[in-house]
Amino acid sequence: MNTTLTTIPLVDLSEQHQPLQNQIDAAVRDVLQRGDFILGKDLAEFEAAFALKSGVSYGIGTGCGTDAISLGLQACGIGANDEVILPTNAFIATLIGVIRAGAKPILVDCDLDVRGVVRVARPEYIEATALIDLEAAAKAITTKTKAIVPLHLYGQMVSPRQLLDFASAYNVLIFEDAAQAHLAQREGYTAGGVGIAAAYSL
């Protein structure tokens, strides 16, 4: 029997790149010609445009999303002796950001029971979102808890209303990791516009 193996690529980024290629090439050429490599007008324009689109007051460009998390948490006054709650299925960079800020990450379970879009092989998980479980987060609160870092994952947002209720009930800051949900919307909020600050990655 003749068997033909077909490789299906996991992701084809060139398909997304092609329609924008000319625009991107021209923008990069323009920056190179001006030698405007550090900060500069393009970054300032992007910061303002992205903040406006996300419905927040300010946007600040950093080297990467991990820097945005550690610098953002530090800017919120979070550091040594503070505990920060995040889900066990957080991206590794989120944990690194918390640790680099000097705080202690406290991992709590994610939600596998509510309506959502994650599709996995186990039928009992078919409706799961895998977003942070706020009931588990409530059990992890101590006198050292300063913030919760909800991850808006796979394009889904953690419920802004439930997050705001949680933050006011336990007097903690919300610092959103929106690196997998740029411009996602839920309950009238845009990802990154719920808490005191947020981090993204491009």
Ligand X SMILES: Cc1ncc(COP(=O)(O)O)c(C=O)c1O
On the 0-12 / 13-18 / 19+ scale of CB atoms within 10 A, 80 is: exposed
Q: Does the footprint of ligand X cover residue 151 (CB under 6 A)?
A: yes
Cα 172 to Cα 23, 38, 199: the distances in Å are: 43, 35, 17
Task: Write down the least CB distance from residue 201 to ligand X, Å.
Answer: 3
DSSP label of 198 = E
- Is 70 among the residues that bind ligand X (CB under 6 A)? no
Contact positions with ligand X (CB under 6 A) in 16-55? none
* Binding footprint of ligand X, residue count (CB under 6 A): 11
66 binds ligand X (CB under 6 A): yes
> Quick one: DSSP state of residue 175?
E
Residue 41 three-state SS: helix
Does 62 interact with ligand X (rule: CB under 6 A)? no
Residue 72 CB, nearest distance to ligand X (Å)?
11
Identity at 141, one-letter amino acid code: I
- In the complex, minimum distance from the CB of residue 55 to ligand X, in angstroms, rounded to a whole number: 20
- Residues forming contacts to ligand X in the complex (CB under 6 A) are 64-66, 91, 93-94, 151, 177, 179-180, 201
